[in-house]
Chains A and B, each alone.
Chain A
Amino acid sequence: MNEEGLIFEREVPEGGCLPLPGDEATDALAESLLAGVALRAQPAPLPDVPEWEVVRHFTRLSQRNWGVDTGFYPLGSCTMKHNPRVNEVAARLPGLARVHPDQHPAQVQGMLRLLKTLEEALAEISGMDAVTLQPPAGAQGELTALLCFQAYHRSRGDLGRTRIIVPDSSHGTNPASAARCGMTVQTIQSNAQGLTDLSALDAALDDTVAGFMLTNPNTLGVFEPQVEEVCRRVHGAGGLVYCDGANMNALVGVARPGDMGFDALHFNVHKTFSTPHGGGGPGAGPVAVKRHLEAFLPVPRIVEGADGMLRLDSEYPQSIGKVHSFSGNIGPLVRAYAYIVNHGPLGLREVTERAVLNANYLLSRVREAYDLPYASPPMHEFVLSADRQKALGCRGLDVAKRLLDYGFHAPTVYFPLIVSEALMIEPTETETKRSLDAFADALLAIARECEEQPDLVKEAPHRAYAARLDEVLAARRLDLRYEPEEEG
């Protein structure tokens, strides 16, 4: 293993670090304000490393990273599509990049118009009536929508609705968001096809149910053919239906959750509309709702006056309040706008069609070598099981690690929970037939290796920067703090 070490360990005896900016006057001011309160008794132990060594260190680290700009990245449920560079041009336009959210609305009409237009586009794409751009991530979008559900029931004097139902295939964020709202969560089993079991749903529905959360297509990548009936039954029991929009890359321009009967959904614009993500953000999770939930959306809302001027309006007494400062994570929102406008309606539809085609082509190439526990035709992603390989001693994790040796990012593993040894693969529309074939060839080769030389797979990766990491040790004895050795 080629050990890069920490920046602290790259200190050289002769030093060479440029002095930090500062002057005596500033030091004296800091002293007068902070002495005895927050001023260090000793200088901070910053590493004395020449600038070029700092640049080299972080450049080398960045080269070890694997991103969609490096190669194929079929991380299921994450939609790692190409981020068009025109998005970056848009985000860097001075009129967008250099405005401040505290400026008077009259000075930022361009930005407000962009955000308003994005709201309208997302409403059209989802078949909903109103949108908030404030939530900075999908999970916070879930939280925002569930708070709106609670406010809706409360506004009707319907105070006993404290439960949320989720299928056992749901993203973990769904029950987590519901619990965060103080609601109790009931998980219902999927049917033999991996779809919502209507009788299990019926058994769970009563007048204590606030709502049902469903991903469509679901986390198996399979479209719920009975989604309209699901929505009818939940509505019939007085509940609301939430669409987890993580898989919108299978629907945009073709089908609209609002038309299916959903009351609300979130978009992961960083997935569906191509803004860089991974490593925790930044993202954006706008929430789109039907008219009956609009009054509860976060404030401020962007409102157009009779004179055509846009302003920020917080006079919505039933609003759940703010869920983020100002108007949300503007950077990803500008990029999403650029992506939507650049593609246009037909272009977005083509994106969806190609994403679905790519997933189905890839599946057709590998399905003989791996198990496919739920055989319904998938949409934009599919979930294999490595059970056959596990019987030979190679788990799903081992297959994933071996893919690194072939020069690919691993798929999502061990999710959804209803598939044992799950390998969840989402190629996105980005990939060419050539890269899909190369990945399929690798999966087929690994399936053969599991039969012929399983140790090669079990001990992978062999060609990555780091060998197999000890995940148990990393989870149990997480060590994130550098402590200099005492000088002896």
Chain B
Amino acid sequence: MAYPSELKYTEEHEWVKVDGDTVTVGITSYAAEELGDIVFVDMPGAGATVAKGDTFGTIESVKTVADLFAPVSGEIVAVNEALEDTPETVGEDPYGAGWIIKIKMSDPADLDALLSSEDYAAKL
């Protein structure tokens, strides 16, 4: 399974793409595979603030319901509203159209704790 090297990762099987002071967050292909067919993604509205490690939403598959954790602290500036109608996109294109939220970081140092693709793959 591929874990793009330009992304950073969490132990909770999420990926983070850094773009200036904003990050895009999704789940890894490993997480998508483990969850199976995804039927619902519960996300907060844009404007909410999250602290690193907080549960910001849930993702529901035919197998289970899993929490989504904020990889960094900050303000949610965008949510992927297309997932309301097509949550399966998370499983089909986890690193692209299946992104979940964008967070404007309050402390870029949060990024230091994230994993490289190699380190993430080694933990699986």
Contact = CB atoms under 8 A, between A and B. Distances in A.
B88 interface: yes
Interface stretch (A196-204, A248-256, A376-384, A468-476): A468-476
A470 to B, nearest CB: 9
Interface stretch (B19-27, B34-42, B114-122): B34-42
B87 interface: yes
Given A471-B37, A472-B37, A475-B39, A417 B88 contact: no
Contacts of B63: 397, 414
A476 B64 contact: no
Interface in A391-417: 395, 397, 414, 417
Nearest to A473: B39
B109 interface: no
A472 B40 CA distance: 10
B1 interface: no
Contacts of A208: none
Interface string B74-110: 0000000000000110000000000000000000000
B2 interface: no
Contact of B40 (A397, A414, A471, A476): A476
B62 A472 contact: yes
Interface string A475-487: 1100000000000
B64 A414 contact: yes
Contacts of B62: 471-472, 475
Of A395, A397, A420, A476, chain B has the most CB atoms within 10 Å of the CB of: A476
Contacts of A395: 36
Contacts of A472: 37, 39, 62, 88
Interface string B48-78: 0000000000001011100000000000000
B40 A475 contact: yes
Contacts of A476: 39-40, 87
Interface string A275-299: 0000000000000000000000000
By secondary structure, the B interface counts as loop
A181 B3 CA distance: 40
A424 to B, nearest CB: 13
A475 B64 CA distance: 12
Nearest to A415: B64
Nearest to B87: A476
Contacts of B36: 395, 397
Nearest to B37: A472
Contact of A417 (B40, B60, B64): B64
A29 to B, nearest CB: 48
B64 A420 contact: no
A395 B64 CA distance: 15
A395 to B, nearest CB: 8
B39 A420 contact: no
Contacts of B60: 475
Interface string B13-31: 0000000000000000000
B41 to A, nearest CB: 11
Contacts of B64: 414, 417
Contacts of B88: 472
A134 B63 CA distance: 32
Of B34, B39, B64, B87, chain A has the most CB atoms within 10 Å of the CB of: B39
A417 B88 CA distance: 22
B28 to A, nearest CB: 16
A420 B31 CA distance: 12
A471 B88 CA distance: 13
A262 B9 CA distance: 40
Nearest to B66: A417
Contacts of B39: 472, 475-476
Nearest to B91: A472
A472 B63 CA distance: 10
A397 B63 CA distance: 9
A420 B34 contact: yes
B40 to A, nearest CB: 7
Nearest to B60: A475
7 contacts: A395-B36, A414-B63, A417-B64, A471-B37, A472-B62, A472-B88, A475-B60
Interface of A: 395, 397, 414, 417, 420, 471-472, 475-476
Given A397-B63, A475-B40, 15 more contacts: A395-B36, A397-B36, A417-B64, A420-B34, A471-B37, A471-B62, A472-B37, A472-B39, A472-B62, A472-B88, A475-B39, A475-B60, A475-B62, A476-B39, A476-B87
The 7 A-B residue pairs with the shortest CB-CB distance in the complex, in nearest-first order: A475-B39, A471-B62, A472-B37, A414-B63, A476-B39, A472-B39, A472-B62
